[in-house]
């Protein structure tokens, strides 16, 4: 199978497995999505979904958020980890959204990435899921799958994003990045990986990985 055939195989298989994708982080609008994605850094979506109902019941927009102080935010989000940095980020970005963007989440990469605690991956998720602008946010799952499938070198997430954008059709990026995440969690986890269940990797995976798994 050449690279083009591999890509078609991946797209078709993922579409069959996950015809409908629902973003895993619970949110009600662009602002709550931004906060949920920020909280998910080095945490699990399930963990974030446990703390956001309480946080959003107190503050579901930037105006309400800045009425809380940083330590109040921190106490609510403590279970997700990195709470001191994230709480400062949430308070700081809420203030900037009010002062510079009329209380609305900006819809361009530059403005998003200028917000405290918002990196390229968080900005990519917001651009994709809030505004429907093609983006390919690379998390640990996508990074792992692109390497296992032999579609990227695994050097770093920047390279993985570049390769994913180069190989997959732009009109599929927004759905596809979620499909890959769902597949990775279900069939190709980092730990407790059973190659026999990982149907895509079994078919197109790196030869050296398949050899290792079969020994």
Active site residues: 121, 139
Q: Where are the alpha helices (DSSP H) in the chain?
A: 3-17, 30-39, 45-58, 62-65, 70-77, 83-101, 109-113, 120-129, 140-148, 157-167, 173-187, 199-204, 207-214
Is the distance from CB of 26 to CB of 52 less than 8 angstroms? yes
Rounded CA-CA distance 112/125 in Å is 11
DSSP 139-189: -HHHHHHHHHTTSS--S-HHHHHHHHHHHS-GGGHHHHHHHHHHHHHHH--
């Amino acid at each position: 199978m050449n690279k083009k055939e591999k890509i078609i195989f991946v797209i078709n298989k993922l579409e069959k497995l996950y015809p409908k994708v629902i973003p895993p982080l619970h949110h009600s609008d662009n602002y709550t999505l931004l906060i949920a994605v920020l909280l998910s850094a080095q945490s699990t979506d399930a963990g974030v979904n446990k703390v956001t109902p309480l946080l959003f019941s107190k503050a579901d927009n930037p105006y309400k958020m800045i009425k809380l102080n940083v330590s109040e935010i921190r106490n609510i989000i403590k279970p997700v980890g990195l709470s001191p940095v994230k709480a400062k980020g949430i308070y700081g970005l809420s203030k900037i959204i009010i002062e510079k963007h009329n209380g609305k989440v900006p819809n361009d990469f530059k403005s998003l990435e200028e917000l405290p605690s918002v990196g390229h991956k968080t900005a990519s998720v917001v651009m994709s899921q809030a505004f429907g602008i093609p983006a390919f946010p690379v998390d640990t799952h996508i990074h792992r799958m692109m390497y296992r499938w032999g579609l990227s070198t695994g050097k770093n997430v920047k390279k993985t994003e570049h390769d994913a954008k180069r190989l997959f059709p732009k009109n599929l990026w927004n759905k596809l990045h979620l499909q890959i995440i769902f597949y990775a969690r279900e069939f190709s986890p980092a730990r407790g990986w059973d190659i026999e269940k990982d149907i895509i990797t079994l078919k197109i995976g790196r030869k050296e990985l398949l050899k290792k798994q079969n020994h």
